Structure 1
Amino acid sequence: MKIAVMTPMGHVGKHLTSALIRGGIRPLLLTRNPGRIPKETLRYADAGEVDSTDPRQVVAATRGVDAVYWVDPSVVSANPLADYAQATRSIVEAVGANGIGRVVFQSSVGAEKRHGVGEIDGLAATEVALNELEVDVTHLRCGYFFTNLLMDIESIRRGRLSTVLPLDRPMSWVAPRDIADIAALTLLNPDWRGHRVQAVHGPRDLTWNDVAAILSRRLNYPVRVEQISDRQMRERYLEAGMPPGMADAVLGMSTGLRDDFQAEQQRTLQTTTPTHLSGWVEEELIPAL
């Protein structure tokens, strides 16, 4: 089986690459920056330089591939949803041109809403397009990545976090390594067919108050979280250098999950993964601080 992995050095991709290698697969690693792939990894994998928003590059890079782990781009952009649409076109054309039989797609909780969830609307559009193909597709509807906290590293150092979400509302939080484990098992499992959704919810739902308490215990200093207005958060994104369209799309992910949202997939044994936030803080956040 020849498996291609998009964004192999991302938070999920680096763990998925290792899992596939351990499983006896020599994956094809597709990335804009193959020079970032460690030389040790390239002893067990092949690499290709490809821009996921360029259909011709993706078609060329995936010839002879049996299955793909697909990730839509997440880069600073003036129009991120346009980039997502181009990436969707890329994977659809690659599947059709190369007869790729299986796709595992890194989606998100909220994609089931289809519209009104900012950047996640781009993921929803990819889900819809893949479901129109007569191939086997699994959408991984992932919870909120632990690694998103790394984007707030300076605030955490100061003992402060901000969100537009209610501080006492539980939501799924998940370690990217656990998403990678589910992705590897799905790619290597020959028994599933058709179009399916697999939620990845982490070990338990957490409120932002829970997160602040866990950080405070593990970091040995108080970390406080405050709920701020949508306008304040958008201003912070703009001050950080986001183009207005990107700021709106990122903010929309939170407001879309806050306002009139009910998750389609409920937590079950199948969606629950093992890595707790406290363990991830010890292994990844504290070294980054």
Structure 2
Amino acid sequence: MKIIVSGSLGNIGKPLTAKLVDAGHDVTVISSNPDRKTDIENLGAKAAIGSVSDVAFLLETLKGSDALFAMTPPNLGGANVIANTTAAGKSFAKAIEEAKVKRVVMLSSIGADLPSGTGPITGLHNIEKLYNELNTSVTFLRAGFFFTNFYNDVPLVKGAGIIGSNYPSDIKIPYVHPEDIAQAAAEELQHTPAGKNIRYIISDVRTPGEAAKVLGTAIAKPELPWIEFTDEQALEGMAQAGIPEEIAKLYAEMGTGLRNGKIIEHFTASKAAVDGKIKLENFARQFATKF
């Protein structure tokens, strides 16, 4: 199969590309960074350097392909995030339709069933709606919250001896490791079910309190507490960390969506399998090496 992978060689794209090349497929990786070309080719894939917002570039790249892993960069543009994310989805949808790609696997998220109240996930909801109109086989790969986002908390743990966000320690959160997403995407790209399908990819379902304890134990801080911040405290902390105001507000809104249970409601009701292999304890060992 000729398979296109967007997302460059990030935490998902790199292992996904390696899996597909090892399986004997003709793989092209889309990247906006020309410096990635050699790394992509060293994996045995071809490089397509350009923007996922450029319809002409996407159409040329997708011509003759059998399948596409469609991933929209997070916080696209740094401002007007939802509009920019949705616009990239429109570009992809137009190119997919014109190139007549038979199979699409879109990286989405838990909470993408909701039209609002989910922060940056709203853009993925909009893209799911666009892809639902395509005359092709589409699987919406709805991922949990990335374990690797805990790396962003390292300065807080080191500086204040705490970890936290604007939701409580005792709610259940579906987490996922990027390598489990890559495995699920590889599986989905290599077969073509009819119509539109949703697959949740979740590695573990744990509370933030459990996450704090397991991560803390891995870094010799077994009493590391999870602190629930107010929305105002969360916004202030993100501002101090240099996160742009618009993005900070979106992440605070996402925290509210977790706190009120709306974001995980569909996942919970669907009784989807938790089939990722990398559990919290496995990730904790990786976290310790970054601390």
Q: TM-score range by the shorter chain?
A: over 0.9
Structure 2 residue identity aligned to 1:74: P
Q: 1:241 and 2:252 equivalent?
A: no
1:28 aligns with 2:28: yes
Change (3 A) 1:269 1:38: farther
2:198 partner amino acid: V
The amino acid of 2:187's aligned partner reads: L
**Equivalences for residues 133-212 of structure 1 within 5 A:** 133-158=134-159, 159-190=161-192, 192-202=193-203, 204-212=204-212
Deviation at 1:263, TM superposition (A): 2.3
Match of 1:279 in 2: 282
Are the equivalent residues in 2 in contact too, given 1:79–1:246 (CA < 8 A)?
no
Counterpart residue type for residue 11 of structure 1:
N
Return 40-49 or 214-223, whichever deviates more: 40-49
Q: Which moved more, 1:128-137 or 1:234-243?
A: 234-243
How far is the alpha carbon of 1:60 from its aligned partner? Answer: 2.4
> TM-score, normalization: structure 2?
0.92
Higher mean C-alpha deviation, range 218-227 or range 177-186: 218-227
Deviation of the 1:26 alpha carbon? 2.7
- SS of equivalent to 2:266: coil
Contact 2:239 2:245 in 1 (8 A): yes
Give the counterpart letter for 2:48 in structure 1.
Answer: G
Using the alignment, how far apart are the partners of 1:99 and 1:18 within structure 2?
25
Q: Which amino acid aligns with 2:30?
A: L
Which stretch has the larger CA shift, 57-66 or 35-44?
Answer: 35-44
Q: Is the 8 A contact 1:110 1:257 kept in 2?
A: no
Partners of 1:226 and 1:109 in 2: CA distance: 23
What TM-score, normalized to structure 1? Answer: 0.92
Q: 3-state DSSP class of the match of 1:129?
A: helix
Matches within 5 A, 1:102-121: 102-121=103-122
Is the alpha carbon distance of 1:157 and 1:278 closer, same or farther for their aligned partners in structure 2, counting shifts above 3 Å?
farther
Deviation of the 1:177 alpha carbon: 0.4
How far does residue 19 in structure 1 lie from its aligned partner after superposition? 1.2
Identity %: 29
Asked whether the 8 Å contact 1:52–1:58 carries over to 2, the reply is yes
* Contact 2:79 2:246 survives alignment (8 Å): yes
Mark the CA change 1:154 to 1:260 in structure 2 (over 3 Å): closer, same or farther: closer
Corresponding position of 1:123: 124
Please identify, of 29-38 and 181-190, the stretch whose mean Cα deviation from structure 2 is larger.
29-38
Deviations 1:136-168 (A, max 9, x none): 000011111001011122123343212111110
Q: Deviations over 1:172-209 (max 9, x none)?
A: 1111100110100000124x11100001121x311110
> Partner amino acid for 2:84?
D
1:244 shift after superposition: 2.1
Q: Cα 1:38–1:227, aligned 2, differ >3 Å: closer, same or farther?
A: farther
For 1:5 and 1:172, the matched residues in 2 are separated by 25
Three-state SS of the structure 1 residue aligned to 2:265 is coil
CA distance, structure 1, for counterparts of residue 257 and residue 155 of structure 2: 26
Structure 2 counterpart of 1:257, one-letter code: L
Q: In 1, distance between residues paired with 2:94 and 2:225?
A: 47
CA contact (8 A) 1:171 1:205 kept: yes
Unaligned runs of 5+ in 2: none
In the alignment, the residues of structure 1 paired with residue 39 and residue 81 of structure 2 have an alpha-carbon distance, to the nearest angstrom, of 32
Q: Is the 8 A contact 1:67 1:187 kept in 2?
A: yes
Change (3 A) 1:281 1:34: farther
Deviations 1:25-60 (A, max 9, x none): 131000111423554753510001121122232222
AA partner of residue 168 (structure 2): P
> What residue identity is the alignment partner of 2:209?
N
Secondary structure at 1:209 match in 2: helix
Q: 1:96 to 1:11 in 2, by over 3 A?
A: same
What are the within-5 Å matches in structure 2 for residues 43-62 of structure 1? 43-62=43-62
What is the alpha-carbon distance in structure 1 between the residues aligned to residue 34 and residue 279 of structure 2? 31
